[in-house]
Amino acid sequence: MIDRLARPHLVPVLDSLALKTAQAGLSANKLTVIAFAFGLAGCFTVGMQLYAFGFVLLLLNRFLDGLAGAVARHQGVTEAGTVLDIVCDYLVFAGFAFFFSLSAMETMLASTLLVFSFLAMGLSYMAHAWVMAKKNMAGLPSGGLVENGEMIVFIALCCILPSYYAAFATVFALLCWTTAALRFTAAVKSAKL
């Protein structure tokens, strides 16, 4: 939802940076790995209850992930790069829930629900992507209620108001399950084409 509104403003900026980044010799896959390292460091930092610093590291993760996508569009998207991107993204998302639960053990149930919802959302994304590839449909799955923008807002809220994490995580998990259902439905419809 947020991504559709932000994309027209962010894509030109990222595309401009992508050209310079590619000229500097950084590939999309290298950027994805660097983004992943920042993401894991952010998750670990959140687990240490250094929420503001963790949020900055996670914001860098999301920015570098977007830059990696822009570089990939310029250099050519590869299947291996796409898989690397998706796996790294969902490991960071689940890592955030896991490490946040370590920072406050009373949030364990909400974190477990959240990780479960990320699994459902990731699997429905992969299923839809697989169907689209089999049917030679252009692009990647989109739609649903949760994309990068919503993830950034969720992480920001949790880092700014950590005492409300369990409530935020529960609501966000429901949004992820809704997204998973919408993507699964879209995958089934695509499979019938």
Domain of 122, CATH number, reads 1.20.120.1760
Question: Which residue, among 129, 60, 68, has the nearest Cα to 92 in the 3D structure?
Answer: 60
The pLDDT of residue 190 is 87
Higher-confidence position of 165 and 6: 165
pLDDT tier, 89 (very low <50, low <70, confident <90, very high otherwise): very high
Which amino acid makes up residue 161? L
Domain count, the chain: 1
Full-model pTM: 0.88
Higher-confidence position of 158 and 76: 158
The set of long-range contacts for 123-127, using a CB threshold of 8 Å and a minimum separation of 24, is 123/180, 124/179, 124/180, 124/181, 124/183, 124/184, 124/187, 125/86, 125/183, 126/86, 127/183, 127/184, 127/187
Helices (H), 24-50: 28-47
> 19-23, 76-80, 87-91, 139-143: which range is least confident on average?
139-143
Mean pLDDT of the chain: 93
The pLDDT of residue 146 is 93
List the structure tokens of 144. 């649903």
Above pLDDT 90, what percent of the chain?
71
Is the pLDDT assigned to residue 141 strictly greater than 80? yes
Above pLDDT 70, what percent of the chain?
100
Domain holding 70, by residue range, is 2-192
C-beta separation of 31 from 21 below 8 A? yes
Arithmetic mean of pLDDT, 66-78:
92
The pLDDT of residue 182 is 94
